[in-house]
Amino acid sequence: MALPPKLLIQSAKFIWTTMWKTMMQSLAPGDRSGAYQRPESQFRNMIGAEPYIAEADRYVLYVGYGCPWAHRTLVMRALKGLESTIAVAVAIPSNDQGIWLLETSSESCKTVPELYQLARSGYDGRSTVPILWDKKTKTIVNNESGDIIEILNSAFNQFAAYPDRDFYPEELKPSIDDWNDRIYHGINNGVYRCGFAQTQGAYDQACGELFALLDELEVVLEQSRYVCGDRLTLVDVRLFTTLFRFDVVYYSLFKCDRQRISDYPNLGGYLRDLYQIPGIADTCRLEDVKRDYYGNLFPLNPGGIIPSTPNVSRLLAAHDRDRPFPRSIG
């Protein structure tokens, strides 16, 4: 069938491009080159000293199951066995309001922005998940996922089912910190830098850095079971939640389509290995991931059509990651 007349095409492109840039600048603010710039988290307190001491049934994790940053806190909560110590409250993104709604009213709030206002009156920053909330002082302790998984790793050991599991051991901290920085920029945030790029140049740079680091990790994982050797660490937790979403969301919606994770022999097996660790699969909700990305990121998917994609059964296949490796690279 023929396209509409030339004038209509030109007018529609102008209107849509103008609206798209306006929405993208609000959704994912960019710099002058069109590269996405993730805003800094505003609540960065830790647990351990007054006023935030470790207590059972005092703190709540507010999460969205589609969000990779929130997902890593759920993974760490499961790995440490803190389910009976720290409650979870679920947020769901609104596809027409552009905010997180609370699945169940909490602290007399129905939305995540209301929680932020309760914590800090007049707050005008981003209202995001995850949130580590203190029921005693009625405030947000921390909303930075990297901090929260460190807190869960060590601050509640007296209540944890697995207190001896340390995913941030002293002897590996330099390696863990280095990998965390690189993986955050190149992969965790890198997929967003691809999907939210507002210019071709910004996209090309982000995509090149993303796959260069994935290729490097493929080589590393040929030599060791986990990124820092034969021991599961915070690096693996932070990497897992991005890889879990990659083939289903980032590959197509965010234009990260040079290669799927399942096409990498080592990264693919590594993803299956982590998914099959007891407790982790229970934190993974693929349908929520698809709904939240495809159904709510209107500027990237105006039709709101959610594609039919493989289910998680593929992650239950054999991984061969428990084989002997030639050396430890911790």
Please provide the DSSP assignment of 200-216 as one string: HHHHHHHHHHHHHHHHH
CA pair distance 69, 74, nearest whole angstrom = 9
How much of the chain, in percent, has pLDDT values that exceed 90?
A: 81
Same domain, 180 and 308: yes
Judgement on whether residues 154 and 265 belong to the same structural domain of the protein: no
Give the 3-state secondary structure of residue 59.
strand
Contacts 24+ apart (CB under 8 A), 222-226: 222/266, 223/325, 223/326, 223/327, 223/329, 224/325, 224/327, 224/328, 224/329, 224/330, 225/270, 225/273, 225/321, 225/322, 225/325, 226/270
Cα angle: 242, vertex 135, 104; to 5 degrees = 65
Within a domain: 4 = no
Q: Is residue 69 part of a domain?
A: yes
Question: Hey, which residues are catalytic here?
Answer: 67, 192
Which own/partner pairs from 166-174 qualify as long-range (CB within 8 Å, at least 24 positions apart)? 167/76, 167/79, 167/232, 167/233, 167/234, 167/237, 168/233, 168/234, 169/231, 169/233, 171/330, 172/228, 172/229, 172/231, 172/233, 172/330
Residue that is last in its domain, among 135, 166, 197:
166
CA diameter of the chain? 70
For residue 62, give the H/E element and its range. Answer: strand 59-63
What CATH number corresponds to the domain at position 257? 1.20.1050.10
CATH of the domain at 140: 3.40.30.10
Indicate if 137 and 175 belong to the same structural domain: no
Task: Tell me, yes or no, whether 12 lies in a domain.
Answer: no
Report the distance separating Cα 34 and Cα 74, nearest Å.
Answer: 33
Question: Are residues 180 and 311 both part of a single domain?
Answer: yes
* Cβ(250)–Cβ(169) below 8 Å: no
- Rounded to whole angstroms, the Cα distance separating 181 from 195 reads 20
- Sheet of 59-63: strand order equals 109-111, 100-106, 87-93, 59-63, 131-134, 139-142
Per-residue pLDDT of the chain (330 residues; tens, 9 = 90+): 565 677 777 777 777 777 667 766 777 778 878 888 888 899 999 999 899 999 999 999 999 999 999 999 999 999 999 999 999 999 999 988 889 999 999 999 999 999 999 999 999 999 999 999 999 999 999 999 999 999 999 999 999 999 999 999 999 999 999 999 999 999 999 999 999 999 999 999 999 999 999 999 999 999 999 999 999 999 999 999 999 999 999 999 999 999 999 999 999 999 999 999 999 999 999 999 999 999 999 889 989 999 987 789 999 999 999 999 985 444
- Burial (CB < 10 A; 0-12, 13-18, 19+), residue 191, is buried
Same domain, 179 and 273: yes
Residue 328 forms part of a structural domain: no
Q: What is the pLDDT of residue 293?
A: 96
Residues 6+ positions from 103 with CB-CB distance below 8 Å: 89, 90, 91, 92
Same domain, 75 and 192: no
Q: Are residues 188 and 157 in the same domain?
A: no
Say if 1 falls within a structural domain. no
Q: In terms of domains, do 269 and 208 share one?
A: yes
Domain extent at residue 141 = 29-166
Domain's final residue, options 131, 166, 201: 166
Q: What is the pTM of this model?
A: 0.93
Domain end among 166, 195, 230: 166
User: 130 by DSSP, 3-state: which?
Assistant: coil
Q: Is residue 14 part of a domain?
A: no
Alpha-carbon torsion (196, 202, 208, 214), positive or negative: negative
- Helix or strand or coil: residue 66? coil
Q: How many domains does the chain have?
A: 2
Residues 151 and 233 in one domain: no
- Please answer whether residues 269 and 321 qualify as being in contact, where contact means their C-beta atoms are separated by less than 8 angstroms: yes
Residue 324 belongs to some domain of the structure: no
Asked, for residue 20, whether it belongs to a domain, the answer is no
Position 327 scores a pLDDT of 57
88 lies in the same domain as 224: no
How far, in Å, CA of 286 to CA of 175, rounded? 31
What letter does residue 52 receive in the DSSP assignment? S
159 and 176: one domain?
no
297 and 175 fall within a common domain: yes
In one letter, which amino acid is 257? D
